[in-house]
């Protein structure tokens, strides 16, 4: 039997697993949906998402599989994480690496195995999405593509969960004075400084590629000056608080929302495709248009927002954040100029702008 090898970057890999806090048995409903889907798509006995910890293999999600952990030395996944692509074992009994493995020579053997490495966004393999069966099988090219796509979804789930945890951890680690300097006191959202900090820590440093696709929305309350002029600044504040609440209620907990101006908000939405970014923006426009704001004075205000949207992807290479914001800003200007209460989407961040995150003053 060939023991699972140790990756050359094992120390860094373990540091990432520790930082992500994923070597646990916590319930993972999003991952459970993926493993259940994998089991159905490939019509196999079992599917799991694994994390390769120091000396053990942890099963983070299990479809028709009871074990919570097993020895890393004898694991198939310990071999799979050293590969750049999927590892497929059609019949482990005929493979010299695994034919006498305890997982093969047992009452409920693993005969067929296919595993795709799952990576942290910095590139370190942290585990696998794998499928296995107690009889020989073969994988077509289409099957392999499907396994790769499902493994990518696992990576997105883990990354989004880490982003959510990171925002909470950042708030917990700050002392009161620093926390207050990074939060908008009226809405409880990040302010510009806080937005800088959370994006630097959890998305990508300025001038670096983003680790995953994400949408960027710049939202502006239409005719907000008229609200202040007509109803007063206290009602204007209530409007800002209400719209901030709407954004928080209709975006995910791990999405990054900041108030960056009097009536302007930035939403950074990780894991968003190019096509979905303007759809999410339009959904926010529609929700506000159809949700009157009730003020403390008993007044009902029917308001709208305009949104300039853009989109980022790892394939774009190093990202100039100021250029990204200015792209969204120009899209917002177009939305305002063309009648307000709409979304303008520009998926091509402007080039050759000076660096610096959201530095419009």
Band (170; pLDDT cuts 50, 70, 90)? low
pLDDT above 90 coverage of the chain, percent: 60
Q: What residue ranges in the chain does DSSP mark as E strands?
A: 46-52, 56-63, 69-71, 87-89, 112-119, 125-133, 214-221, 256-259, 264-270, 293-294, 300-301, 305-312, 343-345
What are the residue ranges of CATH 3.30.450.40 in the chain? Answer: 10-165
User: What are the tokens at 253?
Assistant: 């907990």
324-338 pLDDT tens trace: 889 999 999 999 999
Which residues carry out catalysis?
A: 263
pLDDT band at 349 (very low <50, low <70, confident <90, very high): low
Q: What is the mean pLDDT of the chain?
A: 88
The CATH class of the 10-165 domain is: alpha beta
- Is 321 strand, coil or helix? helix
Q: What residue ranges of the chain are covered by domains with CATH 3.30.70.270? A: 175-345
pLDDT for res 361: 30
Cα dihedral sign for 57, 58, 61, 66? Answer: positive
What pLDDT is stored for residue 72 in this prediction? 95
Distance (Å) of CA 251 to CA 169, 270, 307, 329: 20, 11, 15, 21
Residue for token digits 């305890």? Answer: 102
341: CB partners within 8 A, 6+ apart? 222, 285, 289, 304, 305, 306
- Residues 63-68 have a mean pLDDT of 93
> What's the chain's Rg over C-alpha atoms?
24
Name residue, tokens 């702008």.
353
Distances (CA, A) of 346 to 157, 182, 238: 26, 29, 31
What's the pLDDT tens digit per position in 268-327?
Answer: 998 888 999 999 999 999 999 999 999 888 889 999 999 999 999 888 888 888 888 899
- 148 vs 168, residue with greater confidence: 148
pLDDT of residue 353: 41
Measured CA to CA, the distance from residue 133 to residue 230 in angstroms comes to 69
> Which pair of tokens denotes residue 182?
């990074």
Position 197 scores a pLDDT of 80
CB 196 within 8 A of CB 288: no
pLDDT per residue as tens digits for the range 2-36:
899 999 889 889 888 887 778 887 778 899 999 99
Residue 211 has pLDDT above 90, yes or no: no
CATH of 175-345, one of 1.10.540.10, 2.60.40.420, 3.90.1210.10, 3.30.70.270: 3.30.70.270
What number of other Cβ atoms are within 10 A of residue 249's Cβ? 8
Q: What is the DSSP letter of 183?
A: B
Residue 360 pLDDT class (50, 70, 90 cuts):
very low
Whole-prediction pTM value?
0.58
Lowest mean pLDDT among 172-176, 188-192, 261-265: 172-176
The residues near 316 (Cβ < 8 Å, ≥ 6 apart) are 209, 210, 349
CA distance 303 to 341: 9
Angle between helices 233-250 and 276-289 (to 10 degrees): 140
Cα–Cα distance measured from residue 3 to residue 26, given in angstroms and rounded to the nearest whole number: 28
Positive or negative, the Cα torsion across 160, 141, 135, 80? negative
Tell me the pairing of strands 305-312 and 46-52: unpaired
């Amino acid at each position: 039997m060939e023991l699972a090898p140790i990756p050359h970057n094992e120390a860094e890999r373990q540091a990432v697993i520790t930082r992500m806090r994923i070597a646990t048995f916590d319930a993972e409903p999003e991952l459970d949906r993926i493993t259940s889907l994998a089991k159905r798509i490939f019509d196999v006995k079992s599917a799991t998402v694994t994390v390769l910890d120091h000396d053990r293999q942890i099963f983070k999600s299990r479809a028709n599989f009871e074990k919570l952990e097993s020895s890393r030395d004898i694991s198939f996944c310990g071999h799979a994480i050293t590969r750049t692509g999927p590892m497929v074992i059609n019949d482990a009994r005929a493979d010299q690496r695994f034919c006498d493995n305890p997982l093969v020579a047992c009452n409920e053997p693993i005969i067929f195995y296919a595993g795709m490495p799952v990576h942290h966004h910095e590139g370190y393999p942290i585990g696998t999405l794998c499928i296995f069966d107690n009889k020989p099988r073969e994988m077509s090219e289409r099957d392999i593509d499907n396994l790769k796509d499902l493994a990518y979804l696992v990576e997105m789930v883990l990354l989004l969960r880490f982003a959510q945890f990171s925002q909470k951890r950042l708030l917990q680690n700050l002392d009161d004075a620093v926390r207050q300097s990074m939060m908008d006191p009226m809405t409880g959202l990040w302010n510009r400084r806080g937005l800088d900090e959370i994006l630097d820590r959890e998305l990508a440093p300025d001038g670096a590629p983003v680790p995953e696709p994400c949408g960027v929305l710049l939202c502006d309350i239409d005719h907000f000056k008229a609200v202040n002029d007509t109803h007063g600044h206290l009602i204007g504040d209530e409007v800002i608080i209400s719209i901030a609440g709407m954004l928080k209620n209709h975006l995910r907990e791990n999405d990054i929302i900041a108030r960056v101006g009097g009536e302007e908000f930035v939403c950074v939405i990780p894991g968003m495709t190019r096509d979905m970014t303007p759809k999410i923006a339009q959904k926010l426009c529609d929700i506000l248009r159809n949700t009157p704001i009730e003020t403390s004075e008993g007044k009902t205000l029917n308001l709208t927002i305009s949104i300039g949207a853009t989109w980022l992807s790892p394939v774009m290479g190093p990202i100039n954040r100021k250029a990204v914001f200015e792209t969204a800003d120009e899209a917002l200007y177009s939305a305002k100029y063309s009648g307000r209460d709409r979304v303008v989407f520009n998926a091509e961040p402007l080039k050759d702008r000076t660096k610096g995150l959201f530095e419009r003053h």
